[in-house]
Amino acid sequence: MHPNLAFRTETATQNVEFARERGFGMLSVNGAEGPLMAQVPFLLNADGSHADLHLSRSNAIIRGGLPAKAMLAVMGPDAYVSPDWYGVADQVPTWNYIAVHLRGELMPLPEAALEPHLNALSDAFEARLLPKPIWKTAKMSDGVMARMMRMILPFRLVISGVEGTWKLGQNKTAFARAGVIKALADQSGMGWPQGVAVAMRDVAE
């Protein structure tokens, strides 16, 4: 997490809700030979005390031994910021971004928890696509889902700490921030610059 407290003013609730909305992150544990990581979709429970996820049976995180201390890093929009955009002298290049870290203990769940977890996960993300009808596993041919589920296992990250960095130019003047927001909003590409521009506007309100 960035040490500047200007970028760490969001509450634990705000950080948890950001992670819940994002729903995808980088899971990391310490293995015998160094860090092990996996990209995972996840679901946070109602009070944000745990996140449920699944991993391939062959994932090195599983083979490393569980339960284990773990972190789930959830990234939001990010973008390069050119010094020219501030409209004031003596600035340097930087990167604006949002990141939330969920720390805790990763533990296996009973295999019986896998199917309910997968259904809840797809329901949650399919609901974001309304009015498209929500996809259900019942659409799959007989036996296919069962065969696919044999390749993955369910897990839970019991969360003990939440940290967030919202590095969005809060340490700059309103004039300088406005220049960056305009420049980012005008960028083309994958949408990340525009996302940072929106986030910068939001924290200024």
Please write the tens of the pLDDT for every residue from 60-109: 999 888 999 999 999 999 999 999 999 999 999 999 999 999 999 999 99
pLDDT of residue 62: 92
The helix/strand/coil state of 110 is coil
- For residue 111, pLDDT over 70 is answered with yes
Structure tokens belonging to residue 57: 């049976």
Structure tokens belonging to residue 105: 């203990």
pLDDT of residue 56: 96
- For residue 189, pLDDT over 90 is answered with no
CATH of domain 5-78+96-169: 2.30.110.10
- What integer best gives the mean pLDDT of the chain? 94
Strand 34-41 versus strand 24-31 pairing type:
antiparallel
Instruction: Please write the tens of the pLDDT for every residue from 120-167.
Output: 999 999 999 999 999 999 899 999 999 999 999 999 999 999 999 999
pLDDT of residue 205: 62
Q: How confident is the model at residue 33 (pLDDT cuts 50, 70, 90)?
A: confident
User: 105 exposed, middle or buried (CB, 10 Å; 0-12, 13-18, 19+)?
Assistant: middle
HSE-up of 65 (CA within 13 Å, CB side)?
Answer: 4
pTM of the model: 0.91
Cα-based torsion angle of the residue sequence 7, 11, 16, 22 in order, rounded to the nearest 10 degrees:
-40
- For residue 190, pLDDT over 80 is answered with no
Mean pLDDT of the 17-32 span: 95
pLDDT of residue 32: 80
Cα-based torsion angle of the residue sequence 179, 14, 194, 189 in order, rounded to the nearest 10 degrees:
140
Angle at 133 between CA 116 and CA 191, to 5 degrees: 90
Domain ranges of the chain: 5-78+96-169
The helix/strand/coil state of 154 is strand
pLDDT of residue 183: 95
Instruction: Using only the alpha carbons of the chain, give its radius of gyration.
Output: 20
Q: Match 């986030």 to its residue by tokens.
A: 199
Q: Match 């729903």 to its residue by tokens.
A: 23
Q: Match 């003047």 to its residue by tokens.
A: 173
In whole angstroms, how far apart are CA 154 and each of 55, 61, 113, 117? Answer: 7, 13, 7, 8
How many CB atoms sit inside 10 A of residue 182's CB? 12
